[in-house]
Every structure is written in structure tokens, then in C-alpha cells.
Amino acid sequence: QVQLVESGGGLVKPGGSLRLSCAASGFTFSDYYMSWIRQAPGKGLEWVSYISSSGSTIYYADSVKGRFTISRDNAKNSLYLQMNSLRAEDTAVYYCARAVGGLQLDYWGQGTLVTVSS
Amino acid sequence: QSALTQPPSASGSPGQSVTISCTGTSSDVGGYNYVSWYQQHPGKAPKLMIYEVSKRPSGVPDRFSGSKSGNTASLTVSGLQAEDEADYYCSSYAGSNNLNVFGTGTKVTVL
């Protein structure tokens, strides 16, 4: 069965960095686009970034462009999100999700909480 | 990209139906048949309920149905059950040069 397990969240000071990981299993990881989506406490869902199956196509939300970097290692069935210059408004649960046609998200991980606070 | 517009709340008694709207533009909802709906219970990850406007993934009850007219998509939950009480989000493809966009979310309450 498809499983996505995020890790790497935690408490970080403003201006700090964090790297999130998402371990995928139960499907051919290299065949699928993957996405990061976040949800601030009590708020709605927000697209952060997506990456094509080969890693050649990447898009970011304007809110994270220049600060976050998405990447993947198809040999390790893993997705990553490097987050630099973190701000209080980046505080959220970060989900990784598998994307199918039209970037619809058919499987989600359980999420990892990132808290940016001094 | 602006968020798609959903009503903040909707409610119905057990056995009744509730319909949630999701309004976008011709650049997203109106332009593509890639509208999806997600159910999220408190503290849980979202779950795909509807994809490509009206298709249900395996395991999703047929009480859930989707449709679209112009720039507005809709999710209908028929025969409401207690476990349907959750937040629902729509999302739409917005073209190859854009990220997709989510709706503002609707809290469904089963009275």
C-alpha cells in the first residue's frame, strides 16, 4: 500500500533552516510528480511546491520562492524540502503528497510540524 | 493565484444532503477538468474524495458526488452521516506554468 512518511519538523528560530524529508513506499516513486503542501494552525491548505518525476520541472509558491528548495532522490524513494530564512509565517504542518493528472493529490503523508519562533 | 472561494460552513441533519460550492475563474476551475475535493478531519491529513470533477477514488462512498458548471464546481454529500463532519477543500489545476490552487475550505457540520 502507498505510504508517505514525513520527518524533520521541529522548532527553529526566525532566520534558521530546516530540511524536511518524505519517505515513499508502496509505489514506483520515480513515476510520479510529488508535492509539498502546508497548513498553518487553524488555517487552510496552501501549495508550497511540486517537482516532476525526473526532477526537471519545479514550481514554488511566491511565498517561499528563493527560500525553499524542493528535491528528490528517486534511488532512495525520497522527497525533500530545504527551508532557509524561515519566518514566523512559515509555521505550519507540512504534508508531502503524491500528484497524479492535473496535480491532483491522491495520497498524503501524516504531516510534520514546523514551528518558527524565538 | 488567488484561493478558490468556498462558503465557510454548511450543515445538514443525518440523512439529508449538503452541497458545497467552489468558485474560481476561467484560468482554473473553468478552464480544466482537474477539480478535486479533499476531506480533512481534525488533526488528520486530507483525503482525496473526488478527482477530475466527478470521479471517486476506490473506497469513497457513492454518497459523495462532484460536478462543475462554468467557473464553479460543487461537491454534494447525500445521506449525511456523522463521520462526514469535517473540513472540505476544493482544488483546481491552473495551467502548466502555475501551482494549483486550493479553496478556502468549508466546515461541514452534521446536526
Instruction: Please determine, for residue A67, whether its predicted confidence score (pLDDT) is greater than 90.
Output: yes
pLDDT interval class at A52 (50, 70, 90): very high
Alpha-carbon torsion angle B23, B26, B31, B35, nearest 10: -10
* End-to-end Cα spacing for chain B: 35
Verify whether the Cβ–Cβ distance A61 to B38 is below 8 Å.
no
Nearest CB to B99: which of A61, A109, A110?
A61
Going by C-alpha positions, the residue among B20, B104, B56 that lies closest to residue A44 is B104
pLDDT band with cut points at 50, 70 and 90 for residue B2: confident
* pLDDT tens digits, B47-104: 999 999 999 999 999 999 999 999 999 999 999 999 999 999 999 998 877 778 999 9
Task: Give pLDDT tens digits for A18-33.
Answer: 999 999 999 999 999 9
Q: What are phi and psi of B87, to 5 degrees?
A: -90, 140
Q: Once rounded to an integer, what is the mean pLDDT over residues A42-54?
A: 95
Residue A3 has pLDDT above 80, yes or no: yes
In this complex, which of B32, B45, B51 lies closest to A110 when CB atoms are compared?
B45
pLDDT tens digits along A87-117: 999 999 999 999 998 889 999 999 999 999 9
Whether A52 contacts chain B with CB within 8 A: no
Residue A13 has pLDDT above 80, yes or no: yes
A102: left (phi over 0), alpha (psi -120 to 50) or beta: left
